[in-house]
Structure 1
């Protein structure tokens, strides 16, 4: 650099003036490009020191106070700006329903196709993340299951209210489905059942009223139950009296027709309810909670069912019969239950009584009925 071009405080001041105008004032101190310059910001009043190259290549002359504000203003979108981005990306399928704050700070979205409201980071949304509910359902639609997995999934998602009576062929293929509450069978896609679509007979065809519910109860339980309240629909609770014990409780019509009986008297496992239902449907004579006076521990040990015509007792063994389960009392309860099972097994063997134990892995009226029928056929043969 020639002497005439060598920088000094005056030339540095001129360069800064040419680039930033009156925004900043150079206070001196230039030695070389690596020596901090003394600067004053006329916008915010901040005094600071920065190397010349840092000052000249910064939009606010490297004033740290102003740069924070500049950066925030440059990088932060308004809510309206972000909404415009979303609309350009997905049209009206999604709505932004809370204020935008930052790219990585979660805000609320609504998926207008399904109505789901959820929180997500704006950056994630712009990068393709969408409605978690529909994403999960899409995964379910695209997935295939084994017959056992499928039966278990339908049971869990509908709490046993629905059963498919055809072999599983895919989530989007219509198959015969039975509504266990009313017995109606129709064709529907498994995916629709998993998404909450129900029985067309109960939900849109036959009207639920007092006569229909009382007829259903009489058909299923004889004169054990009386409808006391006014029936509005399948899912609005109504008062029911159990005529055997006098207990009155509030229950959904569809639930009591699905074997949700008197909570006071019928604290029975769902497995027992399935067995009870199948035996009644088949017209098989049976006794519930059968007691033999000489089959006992400290007290008589009841069997779930006894079929006199076949000299057969049936036990539905929950998970707690096979290993300790915390909710059923853990190890101590398991050992107690296991001891009783051994006593019952030996009693049946010693007295020539046929015994059928059905494990908790067999679920649903149809599956349990198949196991029982095979046993009855073997005894009849």
Structure 2
């Protein structure tokens, strides 16, 4: 049975939920089931069950007051510690859904009431649940197939814990390593994601009848072995690299910090080689408009 909160702990938790909207100087607190007197800085004293206050309920007169867009965003930033982007929010009322942007998973829809009561990105919640969940290997595989269907082969997978990478087999690109947490949150084979961009580049080059070589290697551009460029256009002396997010930040399911530092070193070697050989190097980030990045060189 959980330990009962002290008065000081109740006040601290209340402030974490409501910010500095209320004055607790008249508070006589025993248990969360008792009603307590709280002072609204706008409308004065009111009584409420302590547990309801901790769940986000407050002054009823304040709920009648219609928030402005900026007031909602200010409250939301306080509640979620500036985690989300509210640039798409058009606040109307507490039960009218708004569009919010998660820095990890992109746009999602939620009512302001739910959001101000600590609701957030559903996918972040799935990740958190996965991190707190311990599976057997069989349970992990069953859960993974619910999310990814039959795309992957788990015959080499052995589950230990959520943050320990396991071996997974992609039907197109073979074995890759990924943390179970990341895989259950919807992540998969990075090469599949990147190959979509590379296929788009191939399509554009063929459409404009541009000669190219895929996975071009130059003997002088190497660390231990020659490093491949995604594309080389010999008639234009241009190299093209299509870069996933793992080229710009550590990505846990693609080697984490160690993998990121190795890619940064390889990318630097390629950039130096192209500069010394006067080869134009085009880097296209995953998510950028590929045609816009290439149109200058395919005319």
TM-score, normalisation: structure 2: 0.39
Structure having greater relative contact order (Cα 8 Å, sep ≥ 6):
2
TM-score, normalisation: structure 1: 0.32
